[in-house]
Amino acid sequence: MVGAGLAGARTVLELRRQGFDGWIGLVGAEPVPPYDRPPLSKHLLDRPAPAWLSDELDADALAAADRVWLGTHATGVRVDRDGVRVRVDGPDAAAGAELTADALVVATGSAPVNPWPAARVLHTAADAEALRTALAAARRLVIVGAGWIGAEVATVAAAAGVEVIVLEALAGPLPVLGAVGELTRAWWRDAGVDLRTGVRVASVDATGVTLTDGERVDADLVLAAVGARPATGWLDGAVTRDPDGSIRVDEHLAPIAAGTVPAEEPTGHRAATRSRVRVVGDAARRRSARHGWVAGGHWDAALRGPAVAVAGLLGSPAPEDPAPYVFSTQFGHELALYGDPGRGDDLVLRGDPATDDGWAALWFEPGNDRLTAVFTVDRPRDVAAARRLFTGESLPELDRTAAADPAVPLRSALRG
Ligand SMILES: Cc1cc2nc3c(=O)[nH]c(=O)nc-3n(C[C@H](O)[C@H](O)[C@H](O)COP(=O)(O)OP(=O)(O)OC[C@H]3O[C@@H](n4cnc5c(N)ncnc54)[C@H](O)[C@@H]3O)c2cc1C
């Protein structure tokens, strides 16, 4: 088991829950036990201690494993029909030491993108600790990127009285939502955050940011919140990866490409070799019958994927096809996104974003009434309904007019 974050911890616990009584070794690069990441931004200033997963999941993955190496990196792997060999490097393992096993679960998550060494990032508990300390002495914070994490940090920093400037290269905030992100712009303004969109950062230094048009934006502190990429470099040469580092997996979370198989291995053994590997959490790009390719990067997949991966490894495949799901808390609003909004999809609003009553946005495939995604703002009932809508084998079809009426329950808009 390589990676001791949410997906890694959940996999170890699932192995035991599903009756595996063999040996489990857990390798994790961070020197601390598994903890939950979403509170790092939402509770950056009011909850300094990590939210340990042993508390959150009410079970201790470290105790469930036979051997745990924390502060230890996997640096390479070889998989063949005889088993798996993982090279590790850490305080309790000589550099280049090899662990052998019958199967490998990859749960190494993602690493933040940071093109500017002078900027900070927020990905680990150690990053949060350092950012908290720096913020205590800062008057002016520049955040590069108006995505989920940029918005959440802007929320807490502005509420603490820090002057916050957010620089976003694309046209509006929460760019993953396309035009709908623009509907959240007033929240930033009302919170006193100076959100500047359509601006590009050229460089970052100790005193601020220089934009590509030469403008200077001074700051005591700069946070890069411009996304993350799967941390799968250690698998290079052994497992086929997409250009962004993600590993394509099937419904059972087994790698699809034959890159896991050494070239000299006879064709007949390839399936057996590949089935020794599972990829869970942020590192995986999952094939979904309903949504097409689903990238990692979201908590829910790291929570739920391990049950599927373990069932497959133990010989009782139980494919599950959950909808992609993201949640966020920002500027006093509870947000949820189910599904995957396509760029050319039709947009239908449900409720009025200018009021405080809560609203939702729905995306439909152009030319038909198949729903591809639902985004909700302060509408817990729609969150529950959206989860249920995306459980069939294909995308649900909705009556667009009924779905646009916030007084009509979403499930009543379902066709057929
Ligand atoms: C600040 C923040 C806030 C977030 N908020 C939300 C949210 O509100 N909603 C949401 O849906 N998602 C959110 N996410 C994303 C969510 O936390 C991730 O999708 C989830 O943590 C993925 O779990 P994982 O186990 O796949 O990866 P991770 O949690 O990244 O864990 C992977 C672990 O593997 C370790 N590792 C990496 N490489 C190696 C190696 N070579 N050898 C050994 N160990 C290695 C890493 O150090 C890490 O500890 C947030 C993320 C961050 C950073």
Domain boundary among 258, 283, 313: 313
At residue 82, the pLDDT reads 87
264 falls within a domain: yes
* Alpha-carbon span 27 to 71, nearest angstrom: 8
How much is the pTM? Answer: 0.95
Does 103 share its domain with 237? yes
Q: Is residue 71 part of a domain?
A: yes
State whether 63 and 142 are in the same domain. no
326 found inside a domain? no
35 and 49 in contact (C-beta within 8 Å)? no
Q: What is the CATH number of the domain that holds 119?
A: 3.50.50.60
Nearest Cα neighbor of 142 from 45, 217, 41 is 217
Indicate whether 44 and 189 sit together in one domain. Answer: no
- Tokens read off for 74: 């996997």
Residues 263 and 281 placed together within one structural domain of the fold? yes
The Cα–Cα gap between 144 and 118 comes to 12
CA of 381 to the centre of ligand 1 (A): 28
Looking at 162, 189, 224, the residue that finishes a domain is: 224
The pLDDT assigned to 337 comes to 97
pLDDT tens readout for residues 19-60: 999 999 999 999 999 999 999 999 999 999 999 999 999 999
What is the domain range of residue 404? 332-413
What total number of domains does the chain contain? 3
Which residue, judged by its Cα, is nearest atom 48 of ligand 1? 5
Does the pLDDT at position 404 exceed 60? Answer: yes
User: For residues 384 and 27, what is the distance between their CA atoms, to the nearest angstrom?
Assistant: 36
Question: HSE on the CB side for 354, CA within 13 Å?
Answer: 0
Domain-terminating residue out of 185, 205, 224 = 224
Of 234, 299, 331, the one to substitute when testing ligand 1's pocket (max ligand atoms within 8 A of C-beta) is 299
User: Based on C-alpha coordinates, what's the Rg of the chain?
Assistant: 22
Q: In whole angstroms, give the CA distance from residue 341 to residue 291.
A: 10
Whether residues 394 and 347 share a domain: the answer is yes
Residues 104, 238, single domain; the answer is: yes
Both 186 and 171 in a single domain?
yes
Distance CA 171, CA 185 (A): 11
Question: Does the residue 201 lie in any domain?
Answer: yes
In this structure, which long-range contacts are made by residues 348-353, counting pairs with CB atoms below 8 Å and at least 24 apart in sequence? 348/400, 348/403, 348/404, 349/404, 350/382, 350/403, 350/404, 350/405, 350/406, 351/379, 351/406, 353/183, 353/184, 353/377
Contacts for 99 with CB less than 8 Å, ≥ 6 apart: 25, 27, 85, 86, 88, 93
Query: What was the pLDDT predicted at 316?
Result: 85
Distances (CA, A) of 327 to 204, 206, 299, 375: 30, 33, 9, 10
Ligand 1 near 5 CB (within 6 A): yes
Least confident of 57-61, 81-85, 206-210: 81-85
CA of 190 from ligand 1 middle (Å) equals: 31
318 is a domain residue: no
Kindly report which listed range (140-154, 197-211, 223-237, 246-260) carries the lowest average pLDDT score: 246-260
Query: Is residue 148 domain-shared with residue 159, that is, in the same domain?
Result: yes
How far is 380 from 393, CA to CA, in rounded Å? 24
153 and 179 assigned to the same domain: yes
Are 251 and 158 in a shared domain? no
Domain shared by 339 and 300, yes or no: no
Question: Could you report the per-residue pLDDT of 270-317, keeping only the tens digit for each?
Answer: 555 667 999 999 999 999 999 999 999 999 999 999 999 999 999 988
Asked if residue 98 is part of any domain, the answer here is: yes
Tell me if 249 is assigned to some domain: yes
CATH number at residue 348: 3.30.390.30
Q: Whose CA is nearest to atom 50 of ligand 1?
A: 38
Q: Is 320 contained in some domain?
A: no
Structure tokens of 131? Answer: 């950012």
The total of other beta-carbon atoms located within 10 Å of residue 352's CB is: 11
159 has pLDDT over 70: yes
Å from CA of 8 to ligand 1 middle: 10
Q: CB under 8 Å to 35, separation ≥6 — which residues?
A: 50, 51, 52, 53, 125
Same domain as 19, residue 153: no
Cα–Cα distance, 395 to 161 (Å, whole number): 44
d(CA 197, CA 58): 42
